[in-house]
Amino acid sequence: MKKTAITFILGLSFIMINSCSTTEQTTATDRKLKFSIQGGANLGGIIENTDMTVVPNVKVPPEATVDAFTGATRIGFNVGVHINKTLKRNQIEAGIDYMNNHQTFTYNDAENMYIGVRELNVSQVLFPLTYNFVFLRKQFPHADIQLKAGYLGQLNFISTSETGALPEYSLNVWSNGLTLGISAFPFRFNNGSKLGFYFDLHRGSQIYEDYYNQSSFKMSGSSFMKFGVKYQFN
């Protein structure tokens, strides 16, 4: 595993352990740990290269180059457990999410004799760590409207099946990058728990590599958007 992955996991572990430990001297504000569960839909995962002009030996008319390799992604699902810790006026959020989707890569390159379909079942374990800016405190004191920005690491577990003559490929087990998001809890229950929503975006490093998705290509990488319902315990 890369050095950045090890550093991130150690840092995440330290924050969560530190957040869960309290002493008699800890103030009530500092002890406001907020646990939540969430679930919803997502689109994205592996981002394929669509610029065939950068692929060597793809000798087809310019208007047809996109047909040499194409990708399609089905809507998937995600679930997760998160913890928030109050930090002065804002919050730090860490979590563990599971995300799954299905992607289809279609090859139609007679010039290089790559013709067929590769199916990918993409399962990912996500480790987000964000700093959350809390907005509209006076107008909505209990809604916890937050804009999130931070880092996200991914463990990638991908199974494939294929038909036809296809190029060799490789997979990166670890990928990482930046994440942005927003969350809010407009519904508050009598027991103090809250119900709300989340919307997250991510753009990160490359997961999948083959003849049409080489590491030197700018477009290849990982990216997704996910959204859903979030329940915060009292």
| Tens-place pLDDT, residues 16-67 | 444 444 333 434 544 578 999 999 999 999 988 888 888 877 665 554 455 7
| Cβ 172 vs Cβ 197: under 8 Å | no
| Tens-place pLDDT, residues 170-197 | 999 999 999 999 999 999 999 989 999 9
Q: Is the pTM of this model over 0.75?
A: yes
Contacting residues for 204 by C-beta, under 8 A, at least 6 apart: 152, 154, 175, 176, 177, 178, 221, 222, 223
DSSP state, residue 25: T
Residue 72 pLDDT greater than 50, yes or no: yes
Within 13 A of 85's CA, how many CA atoms are on the CB side?
18
The alpha carbon torsion through 126, 132, 137, 139 (nearest 10 deg) reads -60
Structural domains in the chain? 3-232 (2.40.160)
Cα four-point dihedral sign 14, 19, 21, 26:
positive
Distance, in Å, from the CA atom of 140 to the CA atom of 49, rounded to the nearest integer, reads: 43
| Tens-place pLDDT, residues 206-232 | 999 999 998 888 777 899 999 999 999
For all residues of the chain together, what is the average pLDDT?
85
Joined together, the tokens standing for residue 165 give 């003559």
CB atoms within 10 A of CB 148: 21
| Cβ 190 vs Cβ 152: under 8 Å | no
pLDDT bin (cut points 50, 70, 90) of residue 3 is low
CA 127 to chain centre: 8
Q: E strands, 143-220, where?
A: 145-165, 170-171, 174-188, 194-204, 208-209
| Cβ 151 vs Cβ 179: under 8 Å | yes
Which pLDDT value is given to residue 88? 83
Indicate the length of the chain as a whole number: 234
DSSP state, residue 53: G
